[in-house]
Amino acid sequence: MKDTPNSSSETEDKLFPPKITLQVKGKLIQLDDPCVMGILNVTPDSFFAASRVTDNGSLLIDQAENMIREGAAILDLGGYSSRPGAANVSTEDEIQRIIPAVKRLKKHFPDTLLSIDTFRHEVAKEAFAEGADIINDISGGELDSAMIPTVGKLNIPYICMHMRGNPETMQAQTEYNDIEREILFFFNEKLNQCHKAGIKDVIIDPGFGFAKTLAQNYRILKNLSYFKTIKSPILAGVSRKSMIYKTLGVSPEEALNGTTALNMAALLNGAKILRVHDVKEASETIKLYKQLYP
């Protein structure tokens, strides 16, 4: 039988929910309630076409403004597609995609938290210099050994995701003896590394779709509360992914209803941040969740 947090701990969390805060450039950001992270991809090949913003000008600003208006507390900007089988992008190309977008977004929305979806420390440094607030690393430092020390020096929050291999090879690495325990062990090791490097705030992401089969994705979602034992905020990123559209026999464009259903499941199981393409629907899901569990 799968180990779960003890009932007294769960009861205490419900009666006295732990305060969630992020220290961002000298400011203390409260994240006691679940929040939405909106996805902005300055890439030509992200799996969901509507998330691509290849124009770093008015289209990017319009899309960001719409997400903020609909309730996004964080914008997540990516310049490297991490879909299964995605081709490699050079560091130089990633920087050329990311940095102009960072400059424009921080100029127009200086008070909105901006996360950078990258596994390269060079990109993290350049983006931070232009105002980025959070680093979202799909590899948890596995693809660039300088990433965690760099984020520690930058003194900003770090989103640590679980993945094996890289986007080109990850779906060939889905063998686990006990997937929850192995992911939990990964996060415990990474948290130790992060704290030694001086990173104060670490958000964990189990990495739905990254080196996991469809069945494993649903198992992790069902048991998401298992990862609450390490006392870090949990990010859930299931938006329009293959675990939804393959199960339903639809396309990513038709997977919004399924996304909403699984976002509610993630909230019920402890997720604090929903990373999504569709901010309005995710914000409404959180509003209904809070009505159920004020």
Helices (H), 130-253: 147-154, 179-197, 214-222, 242-248
Note whether residue 277 is domain-resident: yes
| Inter-CA distances, 63 with 100, 214, 252, Å | 16, 30, 19
What's the average pLDDT block by block, 10 residues per block, for the chain (294 residues)? 45 52 82 92 63 68 96 95 72 94 95 96 98 97 97 97 88 94 97 97 96 97 95 95 97 96 97 97 98 94
Note whether residue 70 is domain-resident: yes
Provide the pLDDT for residue 250: 97
What residues form DSSP beta bridges with 160?
Answer: 137, 204
Note whether residue 74 is domain-resident: yes
Q: Beta-strand (E) ranges in 86-131? A: 113-117
Q: Enter the pTM of the model.
A: 0.89
Name every residue whose Cβ is closer than 8 Å to that of residue 238 and which is 6 or more positions away in sequence. 208, 209, 217, 221, 244, 259, 262, 263, 266
Provide the pLDDT for residue 13: 52
CATH code at 199?
3.20.20.20
Note whether residue 2 is domain-resident: no
Provide the pLDDT for residue 82: 72
Q: b/e for 101-122, b at 16 or more Cβ within 10 A? A: bbebbbeebeebbbbbbbbbbb
Largest CA distance in the chain: 53
Note whether residue 217 is domain-resident: yes
Q: Which residues are catalytic?
A: 241, 275
Provide the pLDDT for residue 159: 98
Note whether residue 1 is domain-resident: no
Domain count, the chain: 1
The residue segments making up the domain with residue 168 are: 7-292
Place of tokens 């020390």: 149
**Integer Cα distance of 122 and 145 in angstroms:** 12
Angle at 183 between CA 181 and CA 189, to 5 degrees: 100
Provide the pLDDT for residue 169: 84
Note whether residue 283 is domain-resident: yes
Task: Output Rg (C-alpha) for the chain, integer angstroms.
Answer: 18
